Structure 1
Amino acid sequence: MSASDPLVGELLDGRYVIQRKLARGGMATVYLADDQRLTRTVAIKVMHEGLGDDQDFIGKFDREARAAARLSHPNVVSVFDQGLHRGRPYIVMEYVEGCTLRHMITREGSFSPERALDLLIPVTAAVAAAHESGLIHRDIKPENVLISDRGQIKVADFGLARAISAQTVTATGMLIGTVSYIAPELVTHGKADPRCDVYALGVVLYEMLTGSKPHTGENPIQVAYAHVHKAIPAPSSAVKTSWRESRNGIPPYLDALVTSAAARQPSDRPVDARVLLDHMRQARESLARGVMDDSALTERMKGTTLDPENHITEPVPSLRSPSEGDRTPTLRFTPSTPISPGLPEITDGMPYYDGPVEQRAPGRPRRRWPALLASILAAVLVGTGLWWVFAGQYTSTPALVRLNQAQAQQAATDAGLTITFDSEYAEDVPAGQVARTEPAGGDRIVHGGTIKAFLSKGPERFAVPALRGLDLPTATESLNRINLTVGNVTQGYDDTVEAGKVISASFKEGTPLKRGTAVDLVMSQGPAPVTLGDWTDKPVKDAQKALKEQGLKVKIEKQNHSDIEKNNVISQTPTAGEVHRGDTVTLVVSKGPQLKAVPNVRRYSLDRARDILQKAGFEVRVNRLINFGFDLVVSTDPKAGTKAPVGSTITINLA
């Protein structure tokens, strides 16, 4: 797994978990993924980031899914699904575990003619099926041929395929197709038809036979120029082994097959892959029989249409050629249609031997016909039995996708098959129509067998539950219970939601979402913190205004204070520092000093007057007006009965 690739570990459409990157191309990257719904491994091709805004690229990407999905052939990589992830289109394909033809060519160099044809005939059969469906691959190359560990050969990447009726072969000014295998007409005027694929197959076969490409250059322009102006040479000219000396040599008819398929003029090539496939099968059958030079066959390899007289519909098995000193007879057959897959047809009623003939004892009569008839009968019976085991007992499953139940029932009945129905959610198929079948349309099924059809319930959606005020474990459980997941969790302040509870979610309550969609949550940290200033000995009205603007509550208490001016703050709780919005700040506000009437102490002695005033809460200062020695109070300042602040100083005038 690549930690640098952000898609690795992602969940696509609530269903596909990306495991690792497999390959990267010019338009998309292919990943290995797990389909959690069907518990299978798949390959997912995701368009490169930034191309999702280009409608031309989106169109080509969409055509890949549609074109490949239309093909039902054992040598074509199956397409299962398509969708959009964060604005990037993707398609889900069959995962073929193994290697590419490119890896085999790199590892082994050149192949023998028989091995090259054995590998390329299934590829050509797949392209022929595409041509019969009105599609052109446009990018045939060894990198797009997958070979599984079990030996299955499949063609991938119909991403540049387009209806044959389409004329344009360029997109945003760039040639479509890989330059080493591109047909000359695509370079010169951009017109495409099935013969472009035939040309590419011819170049691939040349490379497999010789171990090198026919045209090379320092840059793609030089290679493209060579395709336009230079004919591809016969592959035998690029190898040292001669067909006259070894069975591994390239015979003239195989040279003709390659140079005809890769002819510069489209009119000189086979009209489509079906004709090329027939040529390959004829060549493979001749190699199997040990024929290395056949002028009539060489001439047929130059044909551009099917030759009904020599048409071969099935591959012919490889037969061992006789070697010098080999005492084992080797069966040979003339070219014709096999009785069944895997069995050569007996021509003119009998095979003939190309080996030592058993000597008949003198006088012993020849009794060849009974044995011959028995051999013929055995071959017919075996061929019929094999045909039934491998083909005869099967038919094709009809295409039922997007039919309603009644239509699907009728189609199955018309095909002599039984059908059962189930239902499942489907993103792209309207409710009530068939979303998929088992077996799939085009797959083989036993005569009279049963098709299981899944009727669409429409897109699967789950409504977002109420999440505000829940703690994280409870919110997670609520989402998981309805097949949604928790996405990014962030923190925020809120005056009303207590710390540790959900403030909000990325989707409103009740929003319908796909299975596995991630819902982001914002968790409360409680009210936001604010800084409380020191309002001591400051006007209370200023303090109230500032504290309310900070989202704080204010409580006022009043008391007298001899030193703090009236309506100024005596003290506050809490003191200056950090508090939170919504907290309460208590302010003790001064009512000014306490006032009290000055007692009347006139005619009192000094000692008694001082005692009375001090007990009343006043300070005393003595002023002797006349020093007669009597120390009697004649007046006070302030005067008796006047209100003065408690704690203030009263002056006693003595005489």
Structure 2
Amino acid sequence: MDTTLQDPLVGQVLDGRYRVDARIAVGGMATVYRAVDTRLDRVLALKVMHPALAVDGVFVERFIREAKSVARLAHPNVVQVFDQGTDGSYVYLAMEYVAGCTLRDVLRERGALQPRAALDILEPVLAALGAAHRAGFVHRDMKPENVLIGDDGRVKVADFGLVRSVDTVTSTTGAVLGTVSYLAPEQIEEPGAADARVDVYACGVVLYEMLTGEKPHDGDSPAVVLYKHLHEDVPPPSVIAPGLAYELDELVASATARTPDLRPYDAVALLAQARQTRAALSEDQLDAVPPQALTTEHGNADDRTSVIPRALTIQRPLPVNEDEPEAVFNRTSRLEAPPPPPPRRSRAARAPRGPLIIVAAVLLALGLGVGIWYINSGQFTEVPPLMSKTEAQAKDRLEEAGLEVGKVEREYSDTFDRGTVISSDPKSGARIRHNDSVGLVLSLGPKTVKVPDLQGYPLDKARSELKEIGLEPGVVNREFNDDVTRGSVIASVPGTGTKVRSGSAVELTVSKGSPVDVPDVTGDSPADARAELEEAGLKVKIAPTRVNSEFDAGQVAQQTPAAGGKPAAEGDTVTLTLSKGPEMIEVPDVVGDSVDDAKAALEGAGFEVDEDRGLLGLFGDTVKKQSVKGGKTAPKGSTITITIR
């Protein structure tokens, strides 16, 4: 049974404008429909928040944030948002409709992709993310489900602006497991501190999945996957798909480094690396069919040059809007057309054939023959892939190729396990003479350093010491301490002597000095207040504005922090606000009124009321006199005495 028939929105018109035709997809926050803008007569996608969430202001704010974020991006590889609004309990976004499928659909049907197709998808994704990063925000949820591939080959990124916290992805549903597969380590450790490099990491994982047909880290639960992100490097794709060029291994390793500082700083930088990688690959390397590919018919021009082969079973029959601009990234149009043949020279223009030309041709043929014989006679061989192999494995591979191990050097690496190959000289894939040697650079593993003893160091000096030995100053906490000077380090986390990886952050706890009870100086003159506060070890600042108060003009009316609250630290500043004197307000005339009416009028004007009944007024109820005559002014809050007779 068609589930869309059960959807109450299908067939309705939202906001008097958007006719809902069919349901496309259902997510955790919203449902996406295919709709028609009846005002502009165009097909679009309508993302409607689930009504149960629409009553939550936080979800609505997040939903609207997506519209505002994407509205800032006029980029051909970003799914555009046209409108945002509400209709009763429905909160919606009107978005560009992309006829086609998601990258997840492609991977599900095709398995691993050829390197050319993987790069054809990755580059426009990075272009879209780069525009977002330069605009000042981060996607934070990059995954194949959010990469849309149109029937015309265009690639677009969806779901910008949706900030999701790590603590919402701990269930074991498939959708959640798919999300945690792309989380960068810092998103797990410090969810609020994620920057553009978390998108770089996710794109590296997506590239790995496109090249191998599987995720780099798997497990029975999200917790297992999260643990692997924190403690295991993403392996080189060539481990799963032998034959991939080492440049692709390097691109994945660069994007998925567990230490953020070792990754490209944003998607623009990664895009530059991706283009350099493409330029370094030969046509055969770009078109290599990985063993994990589920479809191997790639011999025609369409398969070689389009972003994704068209023979996908996932069909979205609705047309793309006709008025949309031509895709900026269209490799088909650039690559399918063969280069024009060189102009043929006419007979009249040809040089006369003579004996010298015949001799040159014979010599050229002989030279070519000798060259071909020399190359094919076993004089040259190709350096095999060695990255991530142990020294013994690399030696075996080189011996199998008829090569020897040359100079072996060692370097620290956060990406490669200790004892594995970081690089070779010449690089993998290079042709060298048989029996030549190949130099290797092996990993020493992550460089570790001991956390120094920083107790008693001023904060600036402690930070300098950490940077000098390759560590990063981390979060600074402050607490009272009677023994350590204000502004100096009390302790660090990790503690003194702990071995940590180079580049790790060290949390510092800094002394606020001894606690100081803030004295009450309200009502004092500024000079007396300053003397008392400075004697207590505090600094004083006079606020530029004054306020009305019960105190005389020029005296201290308010202080921040107030007395009696939390103790301050020695050297903290107390801000004093001086008085303009009491606020003078007009006194109501209550003579002749009843006691109750008089009190109500005076108290309502801001005065206190005192009754003077004397002996004659014990049983009276009429005001015969008031201490300040009606129409005169008196300080707000002062007491007005009424005489009753």
Could you say whether these structures have the same fold, taking a TM-score greater than 0.5 normalized by the shorter chain as the test?
Answer: no
Q: Which has the higher contact order (CA 8 A, sep 6+)?
A: 2
- Find the structure with the greater CA-based Rg: 1
More helix by share: 2
